[in-house]
Structure 1
Amino acid sequence: MQTASPAVDAMLTALMAVGRAMRQRQEGDAIDPGTFWLLKTIAHRGPLRITDLATATHLDTSTVSRHVAQLERNGFIDRTPDPADGRAQLVGISADGQHQLDLAFERRRAILESTLTEWGPSDIAEFERLLSKFVAGITNDTTLNNQDNQ
């Protein structure tokens, strides 16, 4: 087995640390960390069926149904009839859900911004350039794109 380069190891460590920080409940969050990314997906993709939401998030339908029920109890989503099939329902983000999601993202941006307070403008510009290059590489990697479509 080939040993990973120090840069790859550092990247894995950084991504896991950022992921942990983004998943943790922040002071003032009304959205449960377990439903945060689900609500973000609903906000981004628009109203959709629970089965489509499960597919989009790579979760099973029963897990998504439980989380959607919690989001609905908290008033963060609305259910509407599916115009394509009156028996089905679509879940969409409510005004309060969007407001709470915006606040949650502001808190997470603040965490990331606080880590850059000691950085100079040229360091931040270089980091942004390299991070954009990295993300473009991940996005264009056909292996990852093929896995996302399975």
Structure 2
Amino acid sequence: MELIDQGHRRISRRLDLTRVRVLGTVAARGPVRPSAIAAEIGLTASATSRHLSALERAGQVAVEPDPTDSRTFLVRQTESGRAEIDTTIQAGAAVFSKVIADWPDEDVATARELITRLNEAWARHGDTAADATPSGTGPRWRRARRPTNIEQEEN
């Protein structure tokens, strides 16, 4: 959780993570309906519309009529949007490379494998990870971690 929290705080100062996810979804799925974007990311229709409007104003997406449904439209990525995704990925990779620069290759490989497993498990379980655990036990990841300096001082 600390990794996620620190990463989110640092990144969100520079860019809107939800907007990047919307743009990434458009990039991955090609011309796509706003409702499909909302469903994939878990946004409301209003939030999706707000992000798409901002991305369109920035020239990162374009809209076109949906040939199969005149009530909606399709969103596609522009060259500017593709460049934005590439820049974001490169910036994230550069920061991550600095963070793990002194790690041995074996540790990097292990971290990559475990993060991949975590992402796959998260995708399989969706929101069920938020289910309550038996009283007093707490989540397994929390029980297995090392206490912080503050927690050690409290005990």
Q: TM-score, normalised by structure 1?
A: 0.72
Shift of 1:59: 1.2
Equivalent residue letter for 1:17: Q
Superposed CA RMSD: 2.5
Shift of 1:125: 2.2
For the 8 Å contact 1:49–1:91, the answer to whether it is kept is yes
SS in 1 for 2:70: strand
Which ranges in structure 1 are unaligned for 5 or more consecutive residues?
1-11, 26-30
Residues 144 and 21 of structure 1, relative CA distance in 2, 3 Å threshold: farther
Shift of 1:51: 2.1
Corresponding residue for 1:16?
Answer: 5
Note the 1:40-119 alignment, pairs <5 A: 40-119=24-103
Which ranges in structure 2 are unaligned for 5 or more consecutive residues?
132-155
Percent same amino acid at aligned positions?
Answer: 26
Shift of 1:22: 4.1
Equivalent residue letter for 1:42: V
Q: Deviations over 1:104-130 (max 9, x none)?
A: 111011111110111122222232233
Equivalent residue letter for 1:93: Q
Residues 66 and 140 of structure 1, relative CA distance in 2, 3 Å threshold: closer
Give the number of aligned pairs.
Answer: 130
Residues 79 and 13 of structure 1, relative CA distance in 2, 3 Å threshold: same
SS in 2 for 1:79: strand
SS in 2 for 1:92: strand
Task: Work out the CA distance in 2 between the residues paired with 1:75 and 1:143.
Answer: 33
Residues 84 and 40 of structure 1, relative CA distance in 2, 3 Å threshold: same
Greater radius of gyration (CA):
2
Higher RCO structure (Cα 8 Å, ≥6 apart): 1
Task: Work out the CA distance in 2 between the residues paired with 1:97 and 1:131.
Answer: 27
